[in-house]
Amino acid sequence: MPAPGRPLFQAATATLNPYSATKVNVANANRGPLLLVSGEKDNTVPPVMVKSTLKAYRQSPAVTELKEFPGRGHSLTIDSGWRELAQYSLAWLNAKGL
């Protein structure tokens, strides 16, 4: 099925274009709180990449936090321990008044 190629082209060339539609403003002070979650044994998005993302978002004064779940892989939200992640996330949101 034919589909527009523009989004793929934009994503592929995003690092070359400082005004790319896919660029994220990590210094945005008006965004809501951001909780980054990571699995200690995630090989798809390793914890070091999530920590790098946290570092990039530190430019913003908005709340940004990281929670790493020990012994967990990439399927945090769909594996047998998903309730732990859900409960932590809800408690985190409640603590932020959301």
Distance CA 19, CA 95 (A): 36
CA distance readout (Å), 50 to 32, 46, 72, 74, 97:
18, 7, 14, 12, 24
pLDDT (0 to 100) of residue 24: 82
* Weakly modelled stretches of the chain, pLDDT under 70: 1-3
pLDDT (0 to 100) of residue 1: 55
Please answer whether residues 64 and 27 qualify as being in contact, where contact means their C-beta atoms are separated by less than 8 angstroms.
Answer: no
